[in-house]
Chains A and B, each alone.
Chain A
């Protein structure tokens, strides 16, 4: 195999594979990227067996063929080359020779025989605007559980319905729910429901960042996998198995009390006060009083802090404990200037939502309090 490719294009596509290749793998070939040259393109494939990515860029193919080389080393090296054309040629012993300007390099590769095949992509069942997808992911992925043993919570639930796309994530303490409008959801041919692993969501956001504003993701799924085709790039992931909790039961039906707040005010206040919260539990006390919300923290070792922000709140005085980090995750994820904090009592879930005008989709963030 031999081809010539623009350095910058190769770097761009290679970068996308880095999030997929395993850093510490017991199977050496999974650290490699598969390069395939055919017609006038070179295709790059990387996988960790859970997640796979395939992208390509134009190339002048002198001889068709394929081979694998360590993905990280290849990127690190190619990045340092001067702008211009890079020539790559696989040798008999699976090594690859790279020539660029006055640089002559041979990089140790492995036979492509042992590189796993990605499953075939089934026919697409939906076309989703990638920006919609990315914005849903960034507003839910932080709520995914980090605990590996709770494997059904290690991803988000994606539901496709005519009413629009829904994405839900929870770690058992808080839950983030986004429902896009039908217009922003693209075209959906059939109802679909799947658990998307967190790692795949991160990679999808990267693909979206690199895509045009109106670009669509062609979505499809088979029994075990999900496929997202964005332009000439394909991301495929194994589905998480298991039952996602019944989130509709968790979403509060109504709230007796509501406090309207300016997002930046409450966010900065919590950030400062949280400096003196217990480092492990991040517990803060939030007092809802007539016309204001007060936040308190105290830690035996470090000290204590208190701050007050103005709020439209007319309910009875109420004090509730919360994990400051959970509140900040929400406040950092939204672009809007106003929020509403809805409550019932000390022992029931509170709900945060963006407030104000121009909000089209539904974003609900439910947080369980702490006992303090």
Chain B
């Protein structure tokens, strides 16, 4: 039998901001940007949540709901720094740690009883240790599956520890709303409500075959989940057995739609840099490079090109993206959003070029140095000159570049 912890930092972004500005404590705080800006709420304090503000809500909506809230810009470099501290602390407790995002992690604690004692005691120690190191609150869920651990850490909030005793998973889950199950969003919830399923217990009582027929493979996973088992998507993998991303992308929504070529191309350059950084972090080389372009009227196009030599070099990605942009943008049409998306990882050897190999190698070394600078001094420490105009502030993101535990792999 396995023992998993799910540790989730309480209102992470807001709590970090409070460390730097204690006057924010207890007040409704919204992290993500100014109330009149485009973009969404990255995080809201508990006081703001009482007004209905939640993350992913447009900032302007948040302002309407809670005009008194204090709106602050996110500080991604601060969150990364604290996330790193959390990660290091967790590593001291178990070798099998997976940061699921910047503020939550799964730990496989199986077999650590002799070191840390029974689960509740270990969780208590961990909880204290996190507080000592970061001065931040967290909540910990303990269970025999990662799924139940995640649900219970949510129930333990704020600042609590909850242990679902082995054998009681089904009983524990039964009275919860189906929405509490990770992976069940608005749409699935609606579909389940439509067939009269409201509680997790309703799900567990159903025949698996019914769910399979009605919702396909996803339905079967749901059946497993309702019994507290790890199933479906990420839950099918083991902690530490990281699958890696299937694609990497970054997007930017302009505060005001623009048709200015320098600003558009510069923004693309910046997005390419961000994508390149993530590629190098994962040790991946992408073969397919895709541009996403949304006009003012929300009509959206995506155009992709496959390159002969898979790349992780910002300038090479940008060259392709710029070609795609120039070939596909209806000149003069204001653009609302730009995105750069890469996929198709190259495996098994990288073919070197006869022509321009020196240039390629120089860029590789330069970018490796730039990445080390960013690791130390933040994402904005260095950038391509072409990106300067597009130096929009990085949105606070749950899965940013530089996520702890995902250090760059050694160069092949």
Write out the residue numbers on chain A whose beta carbons fall within 8 Å of the beta carbon of B346: 280-281
**Do A170 and B354 have beta carbons less than 8 Å apart?**
yes
**Do B354 and A371 have beta carbons less than 8 Å apart?**
no
Write out the residue numbers on chain A whose beta carbons fall within 8 Å of the beta carbon of B357: 368
Q: How far is the CA of A295 from the CA of B305 in the complex (A)?
A: 34
Tally inter-chain residue pairs, CB-CB below 8 A.
Answer: 59
Write out the residue numbers on chain A whose beta carbons fall within 8 Å of the beta carbon of B349: 278, 281, 283, 321, 323, 370-372
**Do B352 and A370 have beta carbons less than 8 Å apart?**
yes
Write out the residue numbers on chain A whose beta carbons fall within 8 Å of the beta carbon of B355: 170, 172, 245, 250
**Do B354 and A250 have beta carbons less than 8 Å apart?**
yes
**Do B354 and A281 have beta carbons less than 8 Å apart?**
no
**Do B353 and A173 have beta carbons less than 8 Å apart?**
yes
Interface centre among A174, A250, A371 (most CB of B within 10 A): A371
- For the complex formed, measure the closest distance between the CB of B365 and the CB atoms of chain A, giving whole angstroms: 13
- For the complex formed, measure the closest distance between the CB of A347 and the CB atoms of chain B, giving whole angstroms: 7
Write out the residue numbers on chain B whose beta carbons fall within 8 Å of the beta carbon of A278: 347-349
- Is B308 part of the contact surface with A, judged by Cβ < 8 Å? yes
Q: Give 6 closest A-B pairs by Cβ, nearest first.
A: A278-B348, A283-B349, A370-B349, A368-B352, A372-B349, A281-B348
- Is B351 part of the contact surface with A, judged by Cβ < 8 Å? yes
Contact of B350 among A147, A250, A370 (CB under 8 A): A370
- Is B246 part of the contact surface with A, judged by Cβ < 8 Å? no
Give the number of residues in A that approach B within 8 Å (Cβ atoms): 27
**Do B347 and A173 have beta carbons less than 8 Å apart?**
no
- For the complex formed, measure the closest distance between the CB of B226 and the CB atoms of chain A, giving whole angstroms: 35
**Do A368 and B354 have beta carbons less than 8 Å apart?**
yes
**Do A173 and B348 have beta carbons less than 8 Å apart?**
no
Q: How far is the CA of A99 from the CA of B92 in the complex (A)?
A: 92
Q: How far is the CA of A149 from the CA of B306 in the complex (A)?
A: 11
- Is B412 part of the contact surface with A, judged by Cβ < 8 Å? yes
Contact of B308 among A147, A280, A366 (CB under 8 A): A147
- For the complex formed, measure the closest distance between the CB of B357 and the CB atoms of chain A, giving whole angstroms: 7
Instruction: Map CB proximity to B onto A263-285 as digits: 1 under 8 Å, 0 otherwise.
Output: 00000000000000110110100
Write out the residue numbers on chain A whose beta carbons fall within 8 Å of the beta carbon of B354: 170, 172-175, 245, 250, 349, 366, 368
- Is A369 part of the contact surface with B, judged by Cβ < 8 Å? yes
Write out the residue numbers on chain B whose beta carbons fall within 8 Å of the beta carbon of A150: 308
- For the complex formed, measure the closest distance between the CB of A91 and the CB atoms of chain B, giving whole angstroms: 47
- Is A314 part of the contact surface with B, judged by Cβ < 8 Å? no
- Is A202 part of the contact surface with B, judged by Cβ < 8 Å? no
Instruction: Map CB proximity to A onto B352-378 as digits: 1 under 8 Å, 0 otherwise.
Output: 111101000000000000000000000
Q: How far is the CA of A277 from the CA of B348 in the complex (A)?
A: 9
Tell me the nearest residue of chain A to B350, going by C-beta: A371
17 pairs, CB–CB < 8 Å, chain A vs chain B: A170-B354, A173-B352, A175-B354, A245-B354, A250-B354, A280-B346, A280-B348, A281-B349, A281-B350, A281-B351, A283-B349, A368-B351, A368-B357, A370-B350, A371-B350, A371-B352, A371-B412
Instruction: Map CB proximity to B onto A330-372 as digits: 1 under 8 Å, 0 otherwise.
Output: 0000000000000000010100000000000000001011111
- Is A191 part of the contact surface with B, judged by Cβ < 8 Å? no
Q: How far is the CA of A147 from the CA of B353 in the complex (A)?
A: 14
- Is A299 part of the contact surface with B, judged by Cβ < 8 Å? yes
**Do A369 and B348 have beta carbons less than 8 Å apart?**
no
- For the complex formed, measure the closest distance between the CB of B202 and the CB atoms of chain A, giving whole angstroms: 42
Write out the residue numbers on chain B whose beta carbons fall within 8 Å of the beta carbon of A366: 354
- For the complex formed, measure the closest distance between the CB of B207 and the CB atoms of chain A, giving whole angstroms: 36
Write out the residue numbers on chain B whose beta carbons fall within 8 Å of the beta carbon of A281: 346-351
Instruction: Map CB proximity to B onto A168-208 as digits: 1 under 8 Å, 0 otherwise.
Output: 00111111000000000000000000000000000000000
Write out the residue numbers on chain B whose beta carbons fall within 8 Å of the beta carbon of A369: 352
Contact of B347 among A280, A349, A368 (CB under 8 A): A280
- For the complex formed, measure the closest distance between the CB of A152 and the CB atoms of chain B, giving whole angstroms: 11
Q: How far is the CA of A171 from the CA of B353 in the complex (A)?
A: 9
Tell me the nearest residue of chain A to B349, going by C-beta: A283
- For the complex formed, measure the closest distance between the CB of B344 and the CB atoms of chain A, giving whole angstroms: 10
Write out the residue numbers on chain B whose beta carbons fall within 8 Å of the beta carbon of A347: 352
Write out the residue numbers on chain A whose beta carbons fall within 8 Å of the beta carbon of B351: 173, 281, 323, 368, 370
8 A Cβ contacts from A155-175 to B: 170-175
**Do A368 and B353 have beta carbons less than 8 Å apart?**
yes
Write out the residue numbers on chain B whose beta carbons fall within 8 Å of the beta carbon of A174: 354
Given contacts A147-B308, A172-B308, A371-B412, contact A283 B353 (CB under 8 A): no
8 A Cβ contacts from B139-180 to A: none
Interface centre among A149, A173, A175, A349 (most CB of B within 10 A): A173
Q: Other CB < 8 Å A-B pairs besides A174-B354, A323-B351, A370-B349, 9 of them?
A: A170-B355, A172-B308, A172-B355, A277-B348, A281-B351, A283-B348, A370-B351, A372-B348, A372-B412
Write out the residue numbers on chain A whose beta carbons fall within 8 Å of the beta carbon of B353: 172-173, 368
